[in-house]
Amino acid sequence: MSNFIDDPNKILSFLKRLRASNINIDVIYQNKKTRGIVRYVGEFSFEVYCLTKFDIEKPEIEIEFNFEGKTYHFSTELLNQKDTVLLLMIPARIDIWIQRKYPRKNVYGQAFVSISFIKPIEYTSEIERLPELEGIPENLRDIKSELDKETPDLKKIVNMILREISKMSNSYDFIFYKRGMTLPSSAIISMIFKKPLLVEDTTNLESYITTYENFNIVTYGDYMKKANWDETKVLEQIKKLRSTFMSQNIRSFVCVPVRIKGDTIGFIFCKKSIGKFTLRDVVYLDALSSIISEAYIKEKINNLKNSKELKLPVIDIGGGGLRFEIDGIIGKLIKVEDALRLFIEIQNKNIQAIGKVIRIDTTKNSSKLWIACQFTYISPEDQQFLISITSN
């Protein structure tokens, strides 16, 4: 990608120029594409007349076109549809892509790719790693030893972490988070702030609104402040929380998110019926959560290095490269300029190529990323085959 437009006034002006020029654009919905023309541009929306009608179930629409020697692309949402006329939201950003040497064809659902990293990728935890083996406590040596393996056993790591947690908490739980899962308020707050949530003493109202300025810790009070609740609502909510904890015989409570590069993949819940969690306890639990995240990411990396079983859907492909869809957590490990080995399955043909990552696109589905690769090596025969596909 060479440039982009994200100023609202410039975007509006550009779409009006596009309407005045009366040029054809590609309107893309999932694995379908049709030609269209911009006919109307308003302050918040614009209309596109399409050559054919789409049966649209989800609102995500892509627009791509060549204009004045450049290739433009943006994603937007469908506001209304009447036959072949689409009313679309003004996009927040228009990307200007490098002009392609070869055209691409949308093949979503018809082609798949497996990838592996040509160079080992490095992962640095957001939290400081455990020190070298000689300097760590005896009770953590087996965890460190397992974590340092090229492919640590994630299930074994989690069980060892829970063993450690059991020493400081009479009631505890660990869950891997799946999007759409119903979460308690403690997990939602820790996910929003990306920090552990602590209630030192559930019987003391002050514990719910204490501020830990110099620690990576939040309380219910931080959320209430962020939500601009008035004092009456704050007190009412704290009394409800206190009543709930006491009815469950919980004297002290901690919820720790397990994070990978800004995404939450799980939660550690710890409860005490007698005694209280200290700040030192929470810092230790947070460090244990980072071990789980590192083991998780090593497992994902190993899948990419050594397995062709992870088949990723190809969005579009051509003689010069392809774009594929990948889970957002794994996708965040990929960087622009990374070299990937590509194993492509298309029209009952297997193609191997090497590609360089040139662009990483976010999507309306926050759990997915689109990775655009330019071929740096592909056999002439395979390249000609892909060119023939795009010309059909």
pLDDT score of 202 more than 90: yes
154-166 vs 279-306: helix axis angle to the nearest 10?
A: 170
Q: Is residue 296 in some structural domain?
A: yes
Kindly state whether residues 243 and 320 are assigned to the same domain.
no
Q: Is residue 105 in some structural domain?
A: no
Q: pLDDT tens, 332-372?
A: 778 778 888 899 999 999 999 999 888 887 665 556 788 88
CATH number of the domain that residue 372 is part of: 2.40.10.220
Kindly state whether residues 269 and 161 are assigned to the same domain.
yes
| pLDDT score at 128 | 42
Q: What is the mean pLDDT of the chain?
A: 84
Structure tokens at 285: 């639990």
Structure tokens at 35: 């030609």
Average the pLDDT over 308-318 and give the result: 82
Q: Is residue 245 in some structural domain?
A: yes
The DSSP bridge partners found for residue 205 are: none
The DSSP bridge partners found for residue 171 are: 271
Kindly state whether residues 77 and 9 are assigned to the same domain.
yes
Kindly state whether residues 368 and 316 are assigned to the same domain.
yes
Report which secondary-structure segment, H or E, holds 353: strand 349-362
| pLDDT score at 214 | 79
Q: pLDDT tens, 6-40?
A: 888 899 999 999 999 888 999 988 767 889 999 99
Domain that holds residue 247: 133-304
Kindly state whether residues 357 and 299 are assigned to the same domain.
no
Kindly state whether residues 149 and 294 are assigned to the same domain.
yes
Kindly state whether residues 191 and 299 are assigned to the same domain.
yes
Q: Structure pTM?
A: 0.54
- Name the residue among 76, 329, 303 with its Cα closest to residue 179: 329
| pLDDT score at 98 | 65
Please report, in angstroms and rounded to a whole number, the separation of the first and last CA atoms in the chain. 27
Kindly state whether residues 259 and 143 are assigned to the same domain.
yes
Residue 1 pLDDT grade (very low, low, confident, very high; cuts 50, 70, 90):
very low
Give the other-Cβ count within 10 Å of 207's Cβ: 21
Q: How many structural domains does the chain have?
A: 3
pLDDT score of 199 more than 90: yes
- Name the residue among 129, 265, 245, 296 with its Cα closest to residue 194: 265
Residue 62 burial (10 A CB sphere; 0-12, 13-18, 19+): buried
Q: pLDDT tens, 203-224?
A: 999 999 888 877 889 999 999 9
- 275 CB-near residues (< 8 Å, 6+ apart): 251, 252
Say how far apart CA 154 and CA 58 lie, in whole Å.
36
Say how far apart CA 355 and CA 371 lie, in whole Å.
11
Q: Is residue 126 in some structural domain?
A: no
Kindly state whether residues 138 and 231 are assigned to the same domain.
yes
- Name the residue among 273, 276, 282 with its Cα closest to residue 171: 273
pLDDT score of 99 more than 80: no
- 3-state secondary structure (DSSP) of residue 208: helix
Average the pLDDT over 159-174 and give the result: 88
The DSSP bridge partners found for residue 374 are: 321, 356
Angle (CA) 366 259 293, round 5° = 120
Kindly state whether residues 298 and 312 are assigned to the same domain.
no
- Name the residue among 73, 62, 76 with its Cα closest to residue 100: 73
CATH number of the domain that residue 41 is part of: 2.30.110.10
Kindly state whether residues 150 and 91 are assigned to the same domain.
no
| pLDDT score at 365 | 58
pLDDT score of 391 more than 50: yes
The DSSP bridge partners found for residue 206 are: none
Q: pLDDT tens, 32-70?
A: 788 999 999 988 889 999 998 888 877 788 898 888 778
pLDDT score of 124 more than 50: no
Q: pLDDT tens, 241-290?
A: 999 999 999 999 999 999 876 778 899 999 999 999 999 899 889 888 88
Of 259, 283, 304, the residue at which a domain comes to its end is 304
Q: Is residue 73 in some structural domain?
A: yes
Name the more confident of 328 and 112.
Answer: 112
Residue 147 pLDDT grade (very low, low, confident, very high; cuts 50, 70, 90):
confident
